[in-house]
Amino acid sequence: MKNSSLIAPHGFLNFETLIKLQQKPEPFTPGEPLFWNDPHISLQMLATHLNPNTDLASRKQETIAQIVHWLVDYLQLKIGQSVLDLGCGPGLYATRLAQQGLQVTGEDYSRTSIDYATQTAQQLGLPITYRYQNYLTIEDREQYDLALLIYGDYCPLSAEQRSQLLQNVKRALKPGGHFVLDVTTRELRRKHGQKNGWYADKDGFWKAGPHLVLEQGFDYPEQSIYLDQSIVIEPDGKISIYNNWFQDFDGDSITRELTRAGFRVDSLWNDLQGTPYTAGSDWIGVVAQKL
- What DSSP designation does 6 have? S
More confident: 81 or 22? 81
Spell out the alpha helix ranges (H) of the chain.
15-21, 39-50, 61-74, 92-99, 111-124, 159-172, 186-192, 251-260
Exposure letters 99-121 (e unless 16+ CB within 10 A, then b): ebebbbbbbbbbebbbebbbebb
Give the integer Cα–Cα distance in Å for 269 and 285: 5
Q: What is the mean pLDDT of the segment spanning 264-280?
A: 97
Domain borders along the chain are 15-30+188-247, 60-185+249-290
Please name the fold of domain 15-30+188-247: N-terminal domain of TfIIb (2.20.25)
Q: Do domains 15-30+188-247 and 60-185+249-290 have the same CATH topology?
A: no
- CATH assignment of 60-185+249-290, given 1.20.140.160, 3.40.50.10140, 3.40.50.150, 2.40.50.140? 3.40.50.150
Q: What is the largest CA-CA distance in the chain?
A: 68
Exposure letters 58-84 (e unless 16+ CB within 10 A, then b): bbeeeebebbbebbbebbebeeebbbb
Q: Is the pLDDT of residue 97 over 80?
A: yes
Q: What is the mean pLDDT of the chain?
A: 94
pLDDT at 10: 62
Give the integer Cα–Cα distance in Å for 228 and 219: 9
**Amino acid symbol at 37:** N
Instruction: Answer whether 0.85 is exceeded by the pTM.
Output: yes
pLDDT digits (tens, 9 = 90+) for 231-260: 999 998 899 999 999 999 999 999 999 999
